[in-house]
Amino acid sequence: MEPTLRAVVVVLCLTWALPAGAQPVRDHLKCYKVKDPQTKATYTADVAGLAAEPGCTIKVPATMVCVPASKTNVQPPPPGGGGTGTPNAFGCYKIKCPKATLPAFRLNDQFGSRSVTPSAPKVVCAPAAPLCSGAADCPVGAACNTTTGQCEAACGDANHSICHGGCCGGGTCQPGTVASACGNGGDCVVCNAANQAGSACVGGHCGCTSTDDCPAASAQSAGRACLLAGIFVCVPQCNKPNIGPCNGGCCSAAVDGTCESGTADTACGNTGGTCVDCTSSLATCMNGSCM
């Protein structure tokens, strides 16, 4: 419960004509008597409504829950217009405040405009967290439980959406910014030496910030180079603008080449630079050098 609660004034309103196929706006509050399993407790709060009322006593559990609702087809047509607005759901609790002088209140709703005289407050309604229908309805780092409508840290099953930001790892939403759990929205990915995109987590995806973050060349496979612009990811191209040298092996051409393992006689090298053709000097490629 919030340390300070505000009284809620419920204003009923109605949109008289709805376009064909349009859904009624849930701009009313419909209140239900509830059985609340919350442990009994008493709180004190200073409540400001029609007037400042310090030292009020609030009793938990809730006695009512008010939820957004729509209202149409009112018969006979009432005389007023009323206001508009989309409210949250509210939990309502018994309240008792020291006696105070309360001003008259102008109630202007669908059923007419008139001055009403308030007496002692009976309930105070605290806004509930809004229900969610997808990840976008939740704060960053949480997923929507589409069964209960609640935003939770849990993720990765049929009842939960993807995480809003970060990624899902081990059944829990993760920030998605570390190599061991990298991602943005879906399942977390491990960025390691075997990941062709790179071993660093950059911008929510596996990538690179230097040559060392890319897979290294071996006798069986070519190394990769880091694209140091845009998405910062390891690529097979080399000797192009904004691309670093290959991680081991060599680049097949001085301009617009591709990374090679650097072990072939026609494409020899182990420094990531341009490959050398050993056959032109009747030599053989051994350990990345023409010999």
Q: Is 119 exposed, middle or buried (0-12, 13-18, 19+ CB in 10 A)?
A: exposed
- pLDDT tier for residue 148 given thresholds of 50, 70 and 90: confident
Q: What is the pLDDT of residues 48-98, one digit of tens each?
A: 988 899 999 999 999 999 888 888 888 888 887 777 676 778 889 999 999
Q: Determine if the pTM surpasses 0.85.
A: no
Tens digit of each residue's pLDDT (9 = 90 or more) over 269-286: 999 999 999 998 899 999
Rounded to a whole number of angstroms, the distance between the first and last alpha carbons of the chain is 78
Q: Which helix (H) or strand (E) holds 250?
A: strand 250-251
- For every residue of 39-56, DSSP letters joined together read PPEEEEEEEESSSEEEEE
Q: Where are the domains positioned within the chain?
A: 28-127, 130-190, 216-291
Cβ burial, residue 85 (10 Å; 0-12/13-18/19+):
exposed
pLDDT on residue 90:
87
Mean pLDDT of the chain: 87
